[in-house]
Amino acid sequence: MPDKEINILISSAGRRNNLIRYFKEEIGTRGKIYAGDMSSLAAAIHYADGFIEMPPCNDPYYFSKLKETCEKYNICSVIALTDTELTELAKYTSELEKIGVTVVGSPYKTAECCFDKLFLYRFCERYGYHAPRTYLGYDSFKSAYDMGEIDFPVYIKPRTGSASIDNTVANTMEEVILQCILRSDLLIQEKLEGLEIGIDIYRDLISGEIISIFSKDKISMRSGETEKAVSAHHEGLFEMISEFTLAMDIRGVVDIDLFVTSSGYHIIDVNPRFGGGYPLAYECGCNFPEYIINNLSGKENTPVVGDYEDGIYMLKCESLVISKDIMR
């Protein structure tokens, strides 16, 4: 009896053409890779087997459209690539499981904690992980500043932001006041100095084991995404990050950003999805698409944590999709 066809929907595909291409290479003739997006002008959809136009994740018809799509195209798994959709999709995990669809993602509480940066900071505090001191709003920050807990410069960001949108650095109290007048959901955060590291992790959907951890030193960023980086290993990092991943109950793929300072590793951001810098991990042999396909086929993966070479550079550059017809 032939194996069941493995059709995967990668939602919010946007510009993630490399990721679509990796999945296409790994799936081969075993199934199809569909790209979902709100726009038929998303570049990545041209690399997929088919395009599915999806409503925004906060649309009241989001789930009904998603369910209809899964049934129509015989989708067995959904993978979301944006922070906002991750949290929304996690609400429907059990409903999708009833029709045989696996969400490659973390439980709702985990996704919510990662998306809300104040919740993430409190989680780190509770479980003893280093993180930059974080305060919600001007009053909380001013009180801490007066007590000598924090000093300038500070980092200001939305509590539930993503892609570094509306993130700014403030060097004076006047700048903090101005930002906080404009928005009430802002966090004021200690600005750390040191080496920034990006971590890509895969936790097996069946066994729950940590299968792969990849670490890259960031060289430069662009619009909140890693633009240049180099593969590297760091002492004690994999042990700490494995414990953290299990403590948060992160499942499947996770992208974690850290700073290395004289006091250790500081967790900055946690995204339970494919990060923008994942292509370097794949090119170094950390094959998350293969691990996902294995899990969807009912196979557990064998742990290969840290199995990659140091000194491999990723330098992102522009590419084009030229098309006469818009995909519909």
Domain that holds residue 278: 193-315
Instruction: Specify the CATH number for the domain of residue 38.
Output: 3.40.50.20
Residues 14 and 98 in one domain: yes
- The span from the CA of 45 to the CA of 7, in Å, is 15
Q: What are the pLDDT digits (tens) for 13-62? A: 999 999 999 999 999 999 999 999 999 999 999 999 999 999 999 999 99
What is the H or E stretch that residue 22 is in?
Answer: helix 17-27
Per-residue pLDDT tens over the stretch 230-253: 999 999 999 999 999 999 999 999
Residue 243 placed within a domain: yes
pLDDT in tens, 192-228: 999 999 999 999 999 999 999 999 999 998 877 889 9
Q: Establish if 325 belongs to a structural domain.
A: no
Domain harbouring 175, CATH code: 3.30.1490.20
On the CB side of 126, CA atoms within 13 Å amount to 10
Neighbours of 233 (CB within 10 A): 13
Question: Is 0.85 surpassed by the pTM of this model?
Answer: yes
Cβ–Cβ under 8 Å, residues 269 and 256: yes
Residue 1 has pLDDT above 50, yes or no: no
Considering its fold, how many domains does the chain have in total? 3
85 and 172 co-located in one domain? no
205 and 298 inside one domain: yes
Cα gap 78→72, rounded to integer Å: 14
Among residues 60, 81, 103, the one where a domain terminates is 103
Q: Residue 206's domain is classified under what CATH number?
A: 3.30.470.20
Same-domain pairing of 231 and 300: yes
